């Protein structure tokens, strides 16, 4: 079975259409959710047989209102209003669509889950995203099996599950049930200004020695080698450390962390990864960035005050309005940390993200499923890409689009990586407490207030506590 971080080149380049883009071309983070207990889950939509009409497989009431809540972060919300909701209204002109955009997903929606007045569709993303495992445990997430088994809008002879990259199906499951739709394909690595590198005659470092040598050159010119946001974005560096551990020790390093394997945080690859980045911060970083949020740090990146920034491929669209003409986003794989790294240079993280769900207790779950089906049409997916300059999980939907340099760079990097794809860490969605603790502790260790060994010990102790806590639902992934 292919795991979400182990997507093959055929699945995510050929099938999504990136090969054409090269020739010519975010998980969400989960925050607290105080949902109401004691209430029995509403009856789920269990099949796509609500209507004999393949154009309306869920039997949507054409006059029933639909409520949609969108996280208005790096992707904005224009794609929802102008593409997906417009397509829904075209199909059901008598249905009113209530649009709500917010960056405060948890703050806004937690009271609604208690009162029962929930949106039908939720784009659950950002630092205040809801805890999906908690929502699933309390029966708030509609089963998406009906969606995946429904006919594709573009070709009714094919099911939805046949027109999306397989990682969508792998990542949809919580406790073995299809409950979440991850909609975007993202690349998380080190991002830099290709125009600056060209002007300076610098090359992207392939080894750690080359990385630090470049740090010395940049430092002499008053430029930081590397920085990350200490506020509202330290998880970027937590991701970076985990992917570096996978680069050193193989994907098993991250898989074991996800599975709460004893001692997973104290393995040599994890310790080496933390140590390597702590050293970079000490020699080439600036502690002032611990007080900056992601937007402030990204602006400094655009001003060429730092070379490499650890983030995902949504960055290009997020900063489009601020990007000067002299800046061109490009992606760099993590350099070889040791001479014995299990994954070769060029290995890169590719995953699916930006999760959506349908509320099981919403007033129009059938409409919610249809809304997701529309999102997974080529018109819906292509429109999203045009609006956000980011790719979706719909196979072939991006073919022929004129996409920006950063995304073309990511596609080339993915093509070069071939089978060497770094897995995504799923514990961020499975064990909110552990992930939140990690985002706190990464700042502590990067600032030099604890040692890498102490960081690993603290993370292992927290993982052990969660593993022993019978009230926390446990998830597992294959190897």
For the segment 71-98, what is each residue's pLDDT rounded down to a tens digit?
998 899 999 999 999 999 999 999 999 9
H or E element in which residue 307 lies? strand 306-312
Eight-state DSSP code of residue 94? T
- pLDDT for the residue 52: 66
Q: Would you state the pLDDT for residue 132?
A: 92
Q: Are 430 and 133 in contact (CB under 8 A)?
A: yes
- Pick among 3.40.190.10, 2.60.120.380, 3.40.50.300, 3.90.1170.50: CATH of 187-350+425-468: 3.40.190.10
| Per-residue tokens: 331 | 């992606």
Residue 5 is predicted with a pLDDT of 37
- Quick one: which of 33, 129, 25 has its CA closest to 354? 129
Q: How far apart are CA 55 and CA 141, in angstroms?
A: 24
Domain boundaries, the chain: 20-186+351-408, 187-350+425-468
Does residue 120 contact residue 67 with C-beta atoms inside 8 Å?
A: yes
Global pTM value: 0.74
CA-to-CA distance for 148 and 162, rounded, in angstroms?
A: 8
Give the whole-angstrom CA distance, residue 169 versus residue 74.
Answer: 24
10 pLDDT more than 80: no
What's the whole-number average pLDDT of the chain? 89
| CB-based contact 57:48 (threshold 8 Å) | yes
- Of the pLDDT bands very low, low, confident and very high (cuts 50, 70, 90), residue 38 is very low
Rounded Cα distance between 104 and 92, Å, is 29
The pLDDT tens digits of the residues spanning 67-78 come to 999 999 889 999
Q: Is the pLDDT of residue 22 over 60?
A: no
β-bridge mates for residue 330, sequence order: 192
Which value, to the nearest 10 degrees, does the dihedral of the CA atoms of residues 231, 388, 87, 159 take? Answer: -90
> Is the pLDDT assigned to residue 53 strictly greater than 90?
no
Type and span of the H or E element at 357? strand 348-358
CATH class, range 20-186+351-408: alpha beta
Q: For 233-250, what is each residue's pLDDT tens digit?
A: 999 999 999 999 999 999
Please check the confidence at residue 45 and state whether its pLDDT lies above 60. no
Q: Do 20-186+351-408 and 187-350+425-468 show the same overall fold? A: yes
Q: Which pair of structure tokens corresponds to residue 14?
A: 């050929």
Is the pLDDT reported for residue 47 higher than 70? no
Q: How far apart are CA 377 and CA 153, in angstroms?
A: 6
What's the CA gap between 209 and 215, in Å, rounded? Answer: 10
Secondary element (H or E) of residue 340: none
CA 406 to chain centre: 17
102 conformational bin, left if phi > 0, alpha if psi -120 to 50, beta if neither: beta
3-state secondary structure 388-430: HCCEECECCCCCCCCCCHHHHHHHHHHHHHCCCEECCCCHHHH
């Amino acid at each position: 079975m292919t795991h979400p971080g182990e997507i093959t080149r055929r699945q995510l380049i050929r099938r999504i259409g990136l090969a054409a883009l090269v020739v010519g071309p975010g998980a969400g983070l989960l925050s607290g959710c105080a949902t109401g207990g004691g209430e029995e889950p509403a009856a789920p939509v269990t099949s796509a047989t609500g209507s004999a009409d393949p154009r309306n497989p869920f039997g949507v009431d054409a006059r029933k209102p639909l409520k949609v809540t969108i996280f208005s972060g790096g992707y904005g919300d224009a794609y929802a209003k102008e593409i997906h909701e417009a397509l829904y209204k075209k199909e059901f002109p008598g249905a009113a669509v209530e649009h709500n955009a917010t960056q405060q997903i948890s703050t806004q929606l937690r009271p609604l889950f208690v009162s029962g007045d929930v949106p039908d569709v939720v784009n659950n993303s950002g630092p205040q995203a809801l805890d999906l495992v908690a929502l699933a445990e309390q029966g708030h997430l509609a089963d998406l099996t009906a969606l995946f088994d429904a006919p594709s809008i573009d070709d009714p002879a094919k099911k939805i599950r046949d027109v999306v990259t397989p990682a969508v199906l792998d990542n949809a499951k919580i406790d073995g049930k299809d409950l979440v739709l991850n909609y975007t394909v993202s690349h998380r690595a080190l991002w830099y200004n290709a125009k600056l590198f060209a002007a300076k005659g610098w090359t992207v470092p392939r080894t750690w020695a080359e990385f630090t040598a470049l740090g010395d050159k940049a430092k002499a010119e008053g430029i930081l080698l590397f920085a990350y946001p200490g506020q509202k974005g330290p998880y970027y560096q937590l991701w970076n450390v985990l992917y570096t551990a996978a680069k050193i020790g193989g994907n098993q390093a991250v898989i074991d962390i996800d599975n709460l394997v004893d001692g997973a945080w104290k393995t040599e690859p994890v310790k080496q990864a933390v140590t390597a980045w702590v050293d970079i911060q000490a020699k080439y970083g600036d502690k002032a960035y611990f007080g900056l949020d992601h937007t402030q740090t990204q602006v400094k990146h655009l001003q060429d005050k730092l070379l490499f920034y650890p983030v995902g491929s949504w960055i290009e669209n997020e900063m489009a309005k601020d990007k000067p003409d002299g800046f061109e986003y490009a992606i760099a794989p993590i350099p070889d940390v040791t001479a014995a790294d299990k994954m070769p240079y060029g290995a890169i993280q590719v995953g699916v993200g930006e999760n959506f769900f349908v509320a099981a207790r919403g007033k129009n779950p059938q409409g919610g499923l249809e809304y997701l089906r529309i999102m997974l049409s080529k018109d819906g997916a292509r429109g999203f890409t045009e609006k956000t300059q980011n790719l979706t999980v719909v196979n072939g939907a991006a073919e022929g689009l004129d996409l920006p340099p950063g995304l073309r760079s990511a596609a080339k990097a993915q093509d070069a990586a071939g089978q060497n794809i770094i897995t995504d860490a799923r514990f961020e969605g499975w064990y909110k407490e552990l992930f939140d603790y990690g985002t706190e502790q990464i700042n502590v260790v990067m600032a030099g207030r604890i040692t890498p060994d102490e960081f690993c010990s603290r993370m292992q102790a927290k993982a052990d506590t969660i593993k022993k806590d019978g009230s926390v639902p446990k998830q597992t992934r294959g190897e």
